[in-house]
Every structure is written in structure tokens, then in C-alpha cells.
Structure 1
Amino acid sequence: MMKNSYKMLFILSMMIGSMISISSSSWFSLWMGLEINLLSFIPLMMSTKNLFSSESSLKYFLTQALASAVFFFSIILIFLFLNFKMNLIFYNFMIISSTMMMKSGTAPFHFWLPSVMEGLNWNSIFMLMTWQKIAPLMILSYSLSLNLTIFIIFFSMIFGSLGGMNQTSLRKLMAFSSINHLGWMMAGMVNNETLWMTYFMFYTFLNFCIIFLFNNFKLFNINQTFKLFYSNKFMNVSMFIMILSLGGLPPFIGFLPKWMIIELMITNNMYFILLFMLFMTLITLYFYLRITYAAFLLNHMNMNWNFKMDNWNKNMKIIMILNFFSVLGMLLINMFYFFI
């Protein structure tokens, strides 16, 4: 009971830190909110059941502390050169953008993300992929530089797509998937001030769907999914739907935020960048399908273990609801806009 109360206290402090950063009107309070968020999330990463969580916590702390130090130094330089050359202030804002990209795990500052996620449990991974990105992305939208952002879009799509090609760990696959989705969010920032928030909300929902399944059945590698698929045929459809929705394949709901960004990029004549993003997203779909394709293409069953489906029977209603929104969510939203 005491352990749960401490955990809730750290979660509350983490949320307060992010809210301070988002709603602050000064650079100092913005930096202070980021530090409160960081120091509150570190204890949540620690786990007595996972020996690698300490290593991941240390890597995360060192990376975030480095980004915070450079961010604070850039703020000081802005005030020092405020009445001097504007070029120096512009370069400082580019440094600030780079530190926020490092905090959120955007390529090419993503070097820490796969190794950190490999040592965490699924609950911590969900918070790292969703809530911990809100404040850095919000600050990044304040100090956006068009040339730097286009450069970052290319890198995020390349590393996010090609990095997951040879991975068998589901946690690393989700890390490279996050980098790829961050590229789409950067494209949303370039075209619209608030479009990336819409994309982020859909991304959070889809991550919850996938991680809910992984966490319930304690799946961490691709080969572990084989025994699950052979144990329950309905699980094939559930995982397949959620994976395709996360990949943004129509008519699943994950395609809707991508559709909105595609329309705006066509309106702004960003055809080359859009074509490149679509091509790299197809590569991402390839390693998404690796998680489920064996269950659909292989007919032999050489299983030497028994898989208990107690978690499946317990959470079947929740998984069916998530499948319903993944499949019919896009249709329901279109009907809602039609009647409005």
C-alpha cells in the first residue's frame, strides 16, 4: 500500500512538472518544470523485477541532464546577446530545438531511446512514449525552425524505418516506431500549429492498445508472439488490427491523423517530402507485420510449451472495445463531421 502511494505521488509530480513547462511564461519556470518531470519519472523507471531498469534509468538521467544543461546554457546566451546580433539568438533557438529533440528522442538525437526502452517494463515504456514527450514537443513548437525541422523529418523517417528492420525485440520495435511517428508530428508542426497535437492523441490511443496486449501477456520478443497466436485464434485478428492501425493503414483509425497531414502537405506543395515519408512508412509497415505474419502464413504447430489464457479471458471485453474503435473509429469520426 505504501509502495502504491509513493508511485501515485511520483506520477502526480511528473504530471505537475509537465504542466508547469507547458503553461509557463518564463524560460526559468519552463526549465524548472522539465527538471521536476525528470526527477519524478526516474523512480517510476526503477523495478525490482527487472535488473536492467537501473541501467536504463542511469542512461535516461544522463541524457536528459545533458539536454537540460545545454538548454539552460542556451537560455543564458539568449539574454546575454539580446541587444546584440540577432544571428546569435537564432542559433541559440536552434540549440534549444535540438535539446528538446534529444529529450523527446527525435532522430538524429535518438541514440538513447532504444537502449533505454529495452530495460523498462511496458508501463514505463508507455509513459516514456506518450506523456514524457508532451512538454518537449510543446516547447519545440514554440521555437520551431523550418529548415531544421525539414532536416529532422528526413532523419526521423530514415532512422525510424530502417532501424527496426533487423530487430526482434518488441520494445526496440516500439522505440523505432516512436521515432517514425515523431517524423509525422514534425511534419504536422511545419504545416499547422496544433495538428501535431491531434496526431499525438491518436498516437497515444494506439500505443495504449498495443502495449495493453503486450503487458497483459508479458510479450517482449517476436518469437513469444507465436505461442500466443497459436493459443487463441481471435488474438490473431486483435493484434493484426492494432498493428495495422498503428502503421496508419486505411481504413483503420490510425490513418486519420496521417490523412490530415497528407492533405495539408499537398496544399502547401510539399510533394517530395510527402512522397519520401510515405515510402518510409511502408518500410515501417513491413516490420509491424513481422509481429503477426507468422501466425497467418505458417501452418505447422511445433509448440513445446503451454500458454495460459487467463489474462485473455479476464480482459477480453477491453480488447474487443479497443478493436472496435481501431476498426470503426475512422468511420464514426467521419459520420460525426458529416452530421455537424
Structure 2
Amino acid sequence: MNPMTTTILISSIATGTIITASSHHWLMAWIGLEMNTLAIIPMISKQHHPRATEAATKYFLTQAAASAMILFASTTNAWQTGTWDITNMTNPTANMLFTLALAMKLGLAPMHFWLPEVLQGSTMKTALIIVTWQKLAPMALIFTTSNNLSTMALLTTAMISTLLGGWAGLNQTQTRKIMAYSSIAHLGWMAAITTIMPSILILNLTLYLLMTTSMFFTLILLNSKNIKDMATSLTTSPTITTSAMMTLLSLGGLPPLTGFMPKWLILEELTMQNFTPTATILAMSALLSLFFYLRLSYTSTITLAPNTTTTKYKWRFKPITNPTMLTLTLPMSLLFLPISPMLC
């Protein structure tokens, strides 16, 4: 893609997110979301093959439907209350429609079907943008309206998302689809705590962005698109592969790694608010996600000794991606647990 075109598209994505996050009027928030959607479509379809075109079409239709539902919910609320202020979302019907629309935009179950397919049809870098930056604008709206959203609706969506993200991820061999179901499960954890303690939502979102970015850059550097590629990655770069194993365990939420912190704080807060059954279901569903993280870790680091591979030519290729982002995000995605007493 032409560098000028790429610059315009990336700037539009950033501008759309900033407009949505900083707006107090529903129409401005909707405009920001539309800018986000329209700017990412050419990036998804830049590979000229049917799979990329299909992914771009699915993404456009889903996001357009969700944006229309947000506009309909805000119009309904404005009709009842006489104001377009985002923080004044008091109509119950509008709130429910708005919650469902944001769930569709984020890829929360049961409106998740588009996310794995879109990621599989995109390049690794575009998939990284979809599961990280594209979540910021809807999350900003969720954070702004957290006082008015339905707690039970969000908790139900959260439980379905974490269970489905774990179950569906067990059957995948493509790393992008595994990361898609991982994203669905993590977003379920965020949805569970949204109306109870929004500050933990922000912490969880930040750590999710760090860990997912770190994992995607690792996959890009290792050129690993499926589990079979991960099995030979130790011969390409033992250091990066070992870091990938640690990042996967952090995504799974194992102490003493960073990923344990948000799960710990969310389970603690849910238990304190007498949502013990919900906390139990979330904790059990984390074991499902942990299984496929462990399977990837085992495949990449334990099944093969770190010697020269018999695969033709793979060891000759030098990585063309700059590892700076991985260097920045990896320590934070592994070593942040000791600061958790400062956040409690």
C-alpha cells in the first residue's frame, strides 16, 4: 500500500478514536466510530484475494449495523429526555440497545461471530489493530456510560463471552483465530466489572492491550500463522520463542506474571459485591483459555530442541520487522504484578 495512503488511514483511525473518546454529544461519538470503521476497511482488504474481501465485507456490515443501533438508541433517549448528552442515558430501552450495539462492536458473545473470521482474513498487523486500537472507542463509550448500563445484561454477556472464548479456542490451529477467541474471553472479563468498578476496567484494558500487542509482535517476528509454525519457531529465535511462552502464560493469568493482576482484582471485587456464582463461572472459564495457551506454549518451546531445523530455508530468513514495539511491551506484559498493591 502507498505510504501516503497508509498514513491517511492510520491518522483517520486515530482521529476517529479521539473524537469518540472526547465527545459529549451522541452524533459526534457516532461520527468517530464511523471514521474508525471506514478507515480500517481498506487496510483489511489490501491483500487482493477473496478471503480479505470477505473479511472486509463482514467487518463493514457488522460495524455499520452496530453504529446504526447506537444512533437509534441515542435518538430514542433524546426523544424521551430532550438531550443528546452521552452521560444522560436514562431510558431503559435505549440503554439495552446501546449495550447490545457496543457488544457487537467489541465482538462480545453472542455477537462475536465476525471477529475470528475478520482476523483470519487480515494480515497480522491489521489483525493487531482490530483487536487493540479498534476496541478503544467503544470502551471509551462504555466507560462514559457505565453508571447507566444494565449490570445483569453485562454480567450475562461476560459469562457467555468467557465460556465461549475458552471453548471455541480449544478447536483452533490458526494463531489469529486463537488470539481472536482470547480477545473475546478478555473482553468478557472487562464487561463483568464495567458497572461495578470502572477503574479496574481501565486497568484490565491497559494490560490486555500490552499483552496482546506483545503477543502479536512476537507472532509477526516469528512469522507464525498456525501451531505448526510455532513448533519450529524455537530454531528461528530461541529468545523470542521463550518470551512468547511467557506472554502466553501471562495472557492465561498465571502468577507471578502481569495477566494475573486483572483477574485477581475482578474476582475479588465480584466476590465482595456478592456475585460469587458469576466469579466462579469466570474463574472456571479461565481454565479453558489457559488450556490452549498452554498448548501453544508446549508446542513452541518443549516439543523441539533449539537446534537447526530441517525445514527448508526458514532459518536463513532474517526478520524484516523492527522489534522495538516488542521490546517496549514485553517487560510490561510480564512484570507488572508487583505494583498491584498500589492499585488496590
TM-score normalised to structure 1 length: 0.88
Partner residue in 1 for 2:85 = none
Q: Is the 8 A contact 1:227 1:303 kept in 2?
A: no
5 Å-filtered alignment, 1:155-170, equals 155-170=160-175
Q: Does 1:106 align with 2:105?
A: no
5 Å-filtered alignment, 1:241-256, equals 241-256=246-261
Q: Is the 8 A contact 1:238 1:319 kept in 2?
A: no
Partner residue in 2 for 1:222 = 227
Distance in 2 separating the partners of 1:26 and 1:314: 40
5 Å-filtered alignment, 1:55-70, equals 55-70=54-69
Instruction: Please state how far the C-alpha of 1:277 moved relative to its aligned partner.
Output: 0.6
1:79-131 C-alpha deviation (Å, 9 max, x unpaired): 33448xxxx93112101110111011111110111111110111111111111
Partner residue in 1 for 2:87 = none
Moved more, 322-331 or 269-278: 322-331
5 Å-filtered alignment, 1:277-288, equals 277-288=282-293
Partner residue in 1 for 2:20 = 21
Correspondent of 1:308 among 298, 315, 321? 315
Assess, with a 3 A threshold, how the Cα gap between structure 1 residues 270 and 11 changes in structure 2: closer, same or farther.
same
Correspondent of 1:329 among 330, 336, 340? 336
Instruction: Name the amino acid aligned to 2:312.
Output: W
Moved more, 102-111 or 64-73: 64-73
Distance in 2 separating the partners of 1:197 and 1:76: 28
Where 1:252 maps in the other structure, the secondary structure is: coil
Partner residue in 1 for 2:185 = 180
Q: Is the 8 A contact 1:101 1:140 kept in 2?
A: no
1:116-156 C-alpha deviation (Å, 9 max, x unpaired): 11101111111111111111122233141111111111111
Q: Percent identity?
A: 30
Partner residue in 1 for 2:120 = 118
1:142-175 C-alpha deviation (Å, 9 max, x unpaired): 1411111111111111111101111101111000
5 Å-filtered alignment, 1:239-278, equals 239-278=244-283
Instruction: Name the amino acid aligned to 1:173.
Output: I
User: Please, which runs of 5 or more residues in structure 2 have no aligned partner?
Assistant: 83-89
Instruction: Please state how far the C-alpha of 1:320 moved relative to its aligned partner.
Output: 6.2
Distance in 2 separating the partners of 1:257 and 1:121: 29
1:252-273 C-alpha deviation (Å, 9 max, x unpaired): 1111222222222222222211
Q: Is the 8 A contact 1:241 1:323 kept in 2?
A: no
Q: Is the 8 A contact 1:230 1:295 kept in 2?
A: no
5 Å-filtered alignment, 1:129-208, equals 129-141=131-143, 142=145, 143-208=148-213
Distance in 2 separating the partners of 1:131 and 1:241: 23
Instruction: Please state how far the C-alpha of 1:71 moved relative to its aligned partner.
Output: 2.0
C-alpha RMSD of matched pairs (Å) = 2.6
Instruction: Name the amino acid aligned to 1:196.
Output: L
Distance in 2 separating the partners of 1:284 and 1:244: 10
Assess, with a 3 A threshold, how the Cα gap between structure 1 residues 328 and 69 changes in structure 2: closer, same or farther.
closer
User: Please, which runs of 5 or more residues in structure 1 have no aligned partner?
Assistant: none
Assess, with a 3 A threshold, how the Cα gap between structure 1 residues 261 and 309 changes in structure 2: closer, same or farther.
farther
Moved more, 36-45 or 171-180: 36-45
Distance in 2 separating the partners of 1:318 and 1:76: 41
Distance in 1 separating the partners of 2:289 and 2:260: 14
Assess, with a 3 A threshold, how the Cα gap between structure 1 residues 194 and 327 changes in structure 2: closer, same or farther.
closer
Partner residue in 2 for 1:44 = 43
